[in-house]
Structure formats: C-alpha cells, structure tokens
Amino acid sequence: MSANGLYRARLLWFDREPDGAEDTEAFHYIEDGAIAVAGGKIVWSGDWADLPAEYSSDDCEDFRPHLIVPGFIDCHIHFPQGQVVASYAGSLLEWLNTYTFVEEQKYGDPDFAEAMAGRFLDMLLAHGTTTAVAYGSVHKCSADALLGAAVSKGMRIIAGKVMMDRNAPEALTDTPQTGYDDTKALIAEWHGKDRVEVAISPRFALTSTEAQMEMAGTLVREHPECLVQTHLSENHREIETVAELFPWSKDYTDVYDHYGLMGPKTLFGHCIHQTPREMERMAESRSVAVFCPTSNMFLGSGLFDLSKMRGTAPETRHAIATDIGGGTNWSMLRTLDEGYKVLNLQGQRYHPLRSFYQATLGNARAIGMDDRIGKLEAGYEADFIVLDKTSTPAMALRAETISTLSEELFLMQTLGDDRAIAATIVSGVTAHRR
C-alpha cells in the first residue's frame, strides 16, 4: 500500500464552527471533489474538474456518491476498557470498583497489552476515528504497547499511563516517584516519534495523593509540550470524596488548579457539575471541557451543559468524545447523536454542521493540532473517512427523502454507526474498508 493516491467523492471540511446551514463561509462542500495525496499528506483538494494534470492518475479511488470528511478525532477514550463496555453498574464509583479496576490489572502483562493495542486501534479505524487521546492503565507497558502499535499503523495517537496511588487495588497503584519516572520515560521514548505523543495523565484527584498531584504538576511544568488529561466533576459522590480528600480546596476544579494542572493543553473529561466559579477558572485558564455523552447517560452522571460553556467570557473551550468504556459506543456518529439528545433535554440545539465540525476540526483545535489534522486541505495529514448515508436499510429508506447536506449529516449522526464508514484512510493509506 502506498501513501500516495487520488480520491474522488463529495468533500466536506470546515474552516471554523458554523452558525448553521446558512453560514456557508464556515465550510467547504464540493459536489464532485478530488483529493490528491503524496507522502501521507494531502497535496491538492478541490473540484475534480480543476485537478492539475500533475496529480491526475489512472489509479483513482472513486468513492462517489459517498461523502469524504476528515477522520474523526476522539478526545477521551480508555485503551484498557474495550472489554469493560456494557458492564452493569449504577454509577461511576461502583462501575470503577466492580469492573474497571479489575479489568485494567490485566494490562500489566505486556503481551496482553500488545495484543489488545492492535485490536483497539483497529476498532477506532473501523469506526472512522483516526486520532484519539487515550488513557492507558497504570502500567507503563500499556502506553508502550498502544503508542508502538500507533507508530506501526501510522496513526496520530496521544496517550499516557495513568498515575494513581490511592483508592484503588494495590495491583493498580504506582507511587508519586514511579508515576513521575514512568511518564518521563514514556515522553523520552515516544513523544514526537512519527505521529504519536504522550499525555500526562493523573487519572483523577480521587486516586492521587497530594504528593502525586505535586509530581503531576512538576511533569506539566517540565513538559509544556505535552497534553494533560484527567477527569473532573463527573459524579456527585466523586465530588464529595474529592472535597474530603482535599479539605483546603475551594472546589474540585481548585484541586487541579492548585497543582498547576489547568491550562490550554489540559483536557478535563466530563465537567458536568461545575459551579460558576469553576467555570470562570475553566474559561480563564483556556482548559478544555470534554463532553462524553454516551458515558454520562450510561453512568447516570448528568447532562453536560454546552450553553454554560458558551456563557463564560471567553467561551470555555470544549471537545466531544466517546469515553469508552464508561461510554457505550466507539462511534463518533453515535456519540454526536447522544450529544444531540443530552443538549436537547436541556432545550439546547446542536446543528449537525456544528456536530461534524466538532468531531473533526473542533476536536483538532481542542488538542492544538488544527494545523495538521481536521481539514481536507493541501498540507494537512491525509487522514479522512468515506461516509455512506445508505449503509443500513433504515438509512437507505430515510435517505430517499433527503435533499440538503444538513439533512444528510443529521441522518448519518442519528442513524449511523460503524457501518456508515465505507473506508478509513490514515496517512494516505487505506487502513479500513467496510
């Protein structure tokens, strides 16, 4: 397989978040488009009729009448939880203690982690996800396995081993020093290697001592090049426990703030129950709130309030993600659908053009990679997916009455899943074909 190629299909990508269907300046939609790829990057895109002779080829992949969009970006997913999905639990802490903290112990075995890493990435690709920000288990070898597999597949994956040194089984804890040392070693070995990066990953305040939080802060200061990921304000019992563990804190957000963990490189999963004070700090610090709708519904955590995020000055940055395995589906299409419902329950609208913006360029912006991924433009990395709006009988039935792009996108997010992904191209190589 070569990282060069020529593709023909309808094309859609965004330059910024659209206000709605009339905001046509925000996106590019090409009825009969071409993408030329060389060396894993897009070298030309535009109208098929305008394709320069130097890029024309007899070897064109003709995906008409399907729609090509940039590959989906999942901003919060757990590598060791592919076999935790669909575990019967009432709420977050029960779910963590009963299933997740048991399952994650398996990832201390490097052979097991390696075997699962390939399957995890294949699952992402089958669902049209080309980039993910992932949590490993506490074991360094889990992150090694995932990042190594990502390098082999040419994928842009950001991952870290979680740091956790209390309130978890012995086999799933590190210490402030080993958490620091292992994260340093991961950064030295992997950060910036091909397309992979390392994320500094204190799991959440509940499973870290003050000493470990200090060490996490030190890592963040020493490695400003790294993304930081953790969980924040997902569940009421979690929030109460954090208040008990850090009695001096103003609130949950203040714990991370105190240790220097807030900032434009930090992704906070969930952010459901934050107070106005916490929201102000989120906005001021330019931290990112990650909306995980299938997880929030499944674990009964609560409703992410997008209007609250938009109501701060400046607007609080946000992203959207599956949160497998608290989340119940690997598909960003399913995630957008559940996100729509969560917002609709609160009287908020989520236009499909905005959803597709968010799952592509919006999430790329949230992780500071919008200069490389999230568009179908010359110079961008050739990560894109082919969407088929007729991929199930129900979709084909509904598609008969569709006449606009917005309707097509809404159909795909409402009824679509992995079957709607006709192909996934990563670094210019077809990595998945339905």
Share in percent of the chain as helix, strand, coil (round to 5):
40, 25, 35
- Residues with Cβ within 8 Å of 428's Cβ and at least 6 positions away in sequence, in order, are 2, 3, 4, 5, 37, 38, 39, 40, 41, 382
Please report where in the chains the tokens 């979709």 appear, as a residue: 395
Q: Which does 374 bind (CB under 5 to 8 A by kind): Zn ion, ligand GUN, none?
A: none
Which residue in the set 41, 139, 153, 231 belongs to the binding site for ligand GUN (CB under 6 A)?
231
Burial of 62 (0-12, 13-18, 19+ CB in 10 A): exposed
Taking alpha carbons only, the member of 82, 65, 72, 145 closest to residue 108 is 145
Q: Which does 30 bind (CB under 5 to 8 A by kind): ligand GUN, Zn ion, none?
A: none
User: How far apart are the C-alpha atoms of 232 and 252, rounded to whole Å?
Assistant: 7
**Which window, 10-18, 92-100, 367-375, 400-408, contacts ligand GUN (CB under 6 A)?**
92-100
Does position 323 interact with Zn ion (CB under 5 A)? The reply is yes
Q: Which is nearer to ligand GUN, 94 or 114 (CB)?
A: 94
Which residue in the set 153, 156, 203, 265 belongs to the binding site for ligand GUN (CB under 6 A)?
203
User: How far apart are the C-alpha atoms of 238 and 99, rounded to whole Å?
Assistant: 17
User: From the CB of 325, what's the least distance to ligand GUN, in Å?
Assistant: 7
User: How far apart are the C-alpha atoms of 110 and 260, rounded to whole Å?
Assistant: 32
Q: Which does 251 bind (CB under 5 to 8 A by kind): ligand GUN, Zn ion, none?
A: none
Q: Which is nearer to Zn ion, 4 or 201 (CB)?
A: 201
Residue number closest to ligand GUN, CB atom: 326
Q: Which is nearer to Zn ion, 7 or 252 (CB)?
A: 252
Q: Within positions 253 to 272, which residues make up the interface with Zn ion, using CB under 5 A?
A: 269
Q: Where are the beta strands (DSSP E) in 136-287?
A: 156-160, 162-163, 197-202, 227-232, 266-270
Binding mask 294-333 for ligand GUN (x = CB under 6 A): -x---------------------------x--x-------
What are 112's two structure tokens?
């097991």
Does position 293 interact with Zn ion (CB under 5 A)? The reply is no
Interface with ligand GUN (CB under 6 A): 78, 92, 96, 100, 203-204, 231, 234, 295, 323, 326
Interface with Zn ion (CB under 5 A): 269, 323
